[in-house]
Homo-oligomer: A and B are copies of this chain.
């Protein structure tokens, strides 16, 4: 079976690729586990070269239907759609966000539909679909009310995937990801970038600005749990999902201050002193519009993994700093 990963050169795409190569199999549309013959990584930039013969890399604009027709073929059993313009950039560059976060998603769905064999499609959505006046713990069936163009584009794509699934064009699975922390690499244009930056930069001896108050509650997930989540989401049977193809992944609800305390426990006060607290009203408005906690009972019942604690997340990140870099990760974060 062949697998396509959009955003395949990005951080989560590379992690997922490594996990799939190691795993070796995925559930085919028939329901049976089959060997992965090929993983095609599609991204604006070519993914790093790999010695693994199962890896193919295509550099191109995923909003260009001809690029998608090239990578989605009769052998494509599964698609992981991770490519996105992140929240901060989609807010600054409205048309770019619409083009990649909405139009490319639709073009991808159309490329799948045109093939006619109903590939399985896992979509990385986001808690940014929620917003406005939210309760402390957002119920699983809460209405979406995005307060950013990024969240709007994700919510629109969720609707499209549900309809394409209902009509039998794809077998879609929409996973609403918490904020991923700790991402390696450099800060990016995501409004949530600080949630990695306040851990990563101080550990690297660099200053990091925290744009929100220490009392701000965030809903986070480690890269490891996210990648495991993509695979769990792929492997679930249609029966287990039922008619609702959108799942809130079970994140960890922590206050920013608790993240910093955990960093201090792991690395000491000198490291923590590198954090500069400087509220940014623009970023804060977006970040605090997201849920600080979600009722993820359904996600847990479906078997999605959850992180044990913020200490475990930070500990796992620190461990990667000491480990030799593998060929596949960590790379730069997605734009």
Interface residues as binary, A242-259 with B (CB distance below 8 Å gives 1, 0 otherwise): 011000000000000000
> For the complex, is A141 an interface residue (Cβ under 8 Å from B)?
yes
Residues A167 and B149 in contact, CB atoms below 8 Å apart: yes
Residue of B nearest to A162 (CB): B152
Which of A156, A159, A167 has the most chain B CB atoms inside 10 A of its CB?
A159
Q: Is A142 an interface residue (CB 8 A)?
A: yes
- Residue ID in chain B nearest A161 by CB atoms: B152
When the two chains form their complex, are residues B144 and A143 in contact, meaning their CB atoms are under 8 A apart?
yes
The interface bits of chain A over 149-180 (1 if a CB of B lies within 8 angstroms of the residue's CB, else 0) are 10010011001101100110000000000000
Q: Is A132 an interface residue (CB 8 A)?
A: yes
- Cβ of A152 and Cβ of B146 under 8 Å apart? no
Chain B contacts of A159 at CB under 8 A? 144, 146, 152, 155-156, 159
Contact present for A143 and B146 (CB under 8 Å): no
In the assembled complex, the Cα of A145 lies from the Cα of B246 at a distance in Å of 10
Indicate whether A147 reaches chain B with its CB closer than 8 angstroms: yes
**A94 touches B (CB below 8 Å):** yes
CB distance from A247 to the nearest CB of B (A): 14
Asked whether, in the complex, the Cβ of B163 is within 8 Å of the Cβ of A146, the reply is yes
Copies in the complex: 2
Minimal beta-carbon separation of A28 from chain B (angstroms): 26
Mark interface residues in A92-103 (1 if CB within 8 Å of B CB, else 0): 001000000000
- Option from B132, B141, B147, B167 in Cβ contact (under 8 Å) with A143: B141
Cβ contacts under 8 Å, A149 to chain B: 163, 167
User: Is the pair A160, B167 in contact by a Cβ cutoff of 8 Å?
Assistant: no
Mask, A134-146, CB within 8 Å of B = 1, is 0000000111111
Question: Known contacts A144-B143, A166-B147; is A243 also within 8 Å of B132 by CB?
Answer: yes
231-278 of chain A: CB within 8 A of chain B:
243-244
Among all A-B residue pairs, the 8 with the closest Cβ atoms? A152-B163, A143-B143, A156-B156, A152-B159, A156-B159, A155-B159, A141-B143, A149-B163
Q: Which residues of A are interface residues toward B (Cβ below 8 A)?
A: 94, 132, 141-147, 149, 152, 155-156, 159-160, 162-163, 166-167, 243-244
A-B contact pairs, 15 of them (CB 8 A): A94-B167, A141-B142, A142-B143, A143-B144, A144-B144, A144-B159, A146-B162, A146-B163, A152-B159, A152-B162, A152-B163, A155-B159, A156-B156, A156-B159, A159-B159
Q: A146-B159, A146-B162, A156-B160 are in contact. List 6 more A-B contacts (CB 8 A).
A: A94-B167, A141-B142, A143-B143, A144-B159, A147-B166, A149-B167
